[in-house]
Structure 1
Amino acid sequence: MKTFALTFLALGMAAVPALADPSCKGVEATMPMWQVAKGFEEAGGKIREMKVSDGCYEIYGTNGETKLEIYYNPATGAELQREES
């Protein structure tokens, strides 16, 4: 029974994808951070914190009641990954 439970747990954990933060190392930051922030705010978002993480622009903020963590490409301003809670 113990072996079955461990096997079941291992298989269950393998089915859950791990979200890794994107990396923008080696990407030249050609878009100013303020332009990314402006676009976020124009879409109704409120910024709590903004920083550079692994070369990517990262915004922590809210849109309505939704908490957001969004990564952007520093060269293009394109959204790379979004986490909502």
Structure 2
Amino acid sequence: MKKIILTALLATAALGSTAYAESKNACGNVPKDKWMTEDALKAKAAGMGFEVRRVKVEDGCYEVYGLKAGKKVEVLFNPETGEQVGSEGNN
């Protein structure tokens, strides 16, 4: 029984981290000269209901840390289009 539970827990953890990793690859290899500015991304994210606290670049994506509806969020955006391509947590 312990073996079944452990296997189920490991599979769930692996699937969750795989989905997040795949969303990071969704940004592709957009040349930096085609990226929207960080200020433009912040404005777009604010228009989507995010309160942006910090922006960084991670694996070719803009990674936004902030709040949405009062909850902490970590969201990935395509740097060229500003489209949300992934998230971690309850976003």
Pairwise same-fold verdict (TM > 0.5): yes
Equivalent residues in 2 for 1:39-54 (5 A)? 39-54=44-59
Report the alpha carbon displacement of residue 25 of structure 1 after superposing the two structures with TM: 5.1
Gaps of 5+ in 1: none
Structure 1 length normalisation: TM-score? 0.75
Counterpart Cα distance in 1 of 2:8 and 2:89:
26
* DSSP-derived class of the 1:41 partner: helix
* Match 1:81 to one of 80, 83, 86: 86
Paired positions, count: 82
Instruction: Identify, as 1 or 2, the structure richer in helix.
Output: 2
Q: Which has the larger radius of gyration?
A: 1
Report the alpha carbon displacement of residue 11 of structure 1 after superposing the two structures with TM: 3.5
- 4+ aligned runs moved over 3 Å, structure 1: none
Aligned residues of 1:70 and 1:82 also touching (Cα < 8 A): yes
Report the alpha carbon displacement of residue 76 of structure 1 after superposing the two structures with TM: 1.4
CA RMSD of aligned residues (A): 2.1
Amino acid at match of 1:18: G
Gaps of 5+ in 2: none
| 2:31 matched residue in structure 1 | 28
